[in-house]
Amino acid sequence: MFADGLPIARRIRPGVGRAIPRPGTQFEFLSKDVTMKIFKSLLLTAVVVAGTVVWAASPERYLHIKVNNPKTQELVRVNVPLSLAEKVIPAINHGDLKNGKFHVSNFNVQDIDIRALLEAVKSAPEGEFVSVQNPGEEVHVAKEHGQLVAHVNDKGGKQRVDVTIPWEVAQALISETTDNQLNLSAAVKALQSIGDMTLVTVAGEDESVRIWIDSNNSDK
Amino acid sequence: MILLAKIGVGVLGTAMVAGAALSSQGFIAVKVHEKRPDGTHLSLIVPAALVPASLHFVPKNDLKDAASELRPYLPIIDVAIPALEDCPDGVLVEVKDPQEHVFIQKVGGSVVIDVDDHGDIVHVSVPLRAAQSSIHQIAEANETM
């Protein structure tokens, strides 16, 4: 029954099979339950669509490498989409790289077990861990703002190297590995979640190198 | 008259379907410009779908070396090309020095390579999907031999 009391059968045109609502009474025949169901469906659809749009719009992350030599006017720029690296690295089974893990033949560099060192640093408070100063070279290794930071100043070779490894990436590098492995695949995955930052800079007399992460598809 | 019209529609329809099939994988564009005065200027645009078809006519023996070199890298290629297709457009590699400028970028579904050196300017654009199927065809050419 409609609000005006006419039975539905009286409102259906023969052969058409559709109710003809009067102006202003279009949705009055819908019960509250049906209205709520429609509303909920629309809300769910809106949430799904909005989620898809947000997911689709999440920007691609890039690993940029720039090598510049002003003297010889040489420039090399490499921009690697991290999603590409994440998929390709596990597929490489060549040489020391297998299943996304890099096998380092002698990980215990000069009797220092880097893996054990990273595990120890993980639980240590922030601060400088290593400081080596000699006439030709200065080395500083520290944990700063949750990042592993290393500065090397080679005075003889007039070269300065700064390396910043976010803690998540350092942890990922040694995750699910045996003694002589680095988990590159996990490290790349971890890089996806960190903010824009410079990972490595090498400033030499002739050449400079910069490796960094951001969401720009070019290094400009 | 009606019969002629029907034949015309048939021919036109076939041509359209053939055109659509040919252009379905995009086009390979090659431009070579030699800088010397009497140098060659070549500009070639080929439907990418023709390449796998053309490879059927290449004697398998001629593809033997390329096939054996490509085969170990097929798993990587099969992952890399679809992943690259999903990536946004942008410059992948640029190498620049006073003698040479090499530019590799992804544009749409294609990889575009531009080389400008002292002798030539070369531009190559290859649709990724076509590249993958052609690489597969080359790699599988001598598998049974």
pLDDT at B35 over 80: yes
Residue A74, SS3? strand
Whether residue A72 and residue B94 make contact (CB cut-off 8 A), yes or no, is: no
Picking from A55, A74, A97, A99 by the largest number of B CB atoms within 10 A of its own CB, the best residue to mutate is A74
Of A24-28, A110-114, A180-184, the one with minimum mean pLDDT is A24-28
Q: What is the mean pLDDT of chain A?
A: 79
Give the residue with greater pLDDT, A165 vs A2: A165
Q: How far apart are CA A75 and CA A68, in angstroms?
A: 5
CA distance B94 to chain A (A): 5
Mean pLDDT of the residues in chain B: 87
Contact list in A for residue B98 (CB cut-off 8 A) is 72-73
A76 touches B at CB < 8 Å: yes
CA distance A75 to chain B (A): 5
Say yes or no: B20 contacts chain A, CB-CB below 8 A: no
Q: Is the pTM of this model over 0.80?
A: no
Query: Would the pLDDT of A219 be above 70?
Result: no
Residue contact A72–B80, C-beta within 8 A: no
Q: Give the single-character DSSP code of A90.
A: G
Nearest to B95 among A72, A76, A80 (CB): A76
**Considering only CB atoms, which chain A residues are within 8 Å of B71?**
none
Q: Which residues pair with A182 in a beta bridge?
A: A102
What's the pLDDT tens digit per position in B38-77?
A: 889 999 998 888 887 888 888 888 888 888 888 888 989 9
Find the CB nearest A217 among B75, B78, B88: B88
Which residues in chain A touch residue B94, judged by CB atoms under 8 angstroms apart? Answer: 75-78
CA–CA gap between residue A179 and residue A13 (Å, rounded): 82
Cα–Cα distance measured from residue A87 to residue A80, given in angstroms and rounded to the nearest whole number: 12
Instruction: Provide the token pair at A146.
Output: 């949750």
Contact list in B for residue A75 (CB cut-off 8 A) is 94-97
Per-residue pLDDT reduced to its tens digit, A92-142: 988 888 889 888 776 555 566 666 777 777 778 888 888 898 888 899 988
User: According to the model, what pLDDT value does residue A162 have?
Assistant: 95
Determine how many CB atoms are found less than 10 A away from the CB of residue B134.
19
CB contact under 8 Å between A218 and B90, yes or no, is yes
| Contact assessment for residue B139 and residue B74, using Cβ atoms and an 8 Å cutoff | yes
In the prediction, which pLDDT does A157 show?
77
- Strands A127-134, A137-144: pairing is antiparallel
- Collapsing DSSP to helix, strand or coil, B18 comes out as helix
User: Which candidate, B71, B75, B78, B73, places its Cα nearest to that of B144?
Assistant: B71
Contact A88 B86 (CB under 8 A): no
Instruction: Using a CB–CB cutoff of 8 Å, tell me whether B100 touches chain A.
Output: no
pLDDT at A38 over 80: no
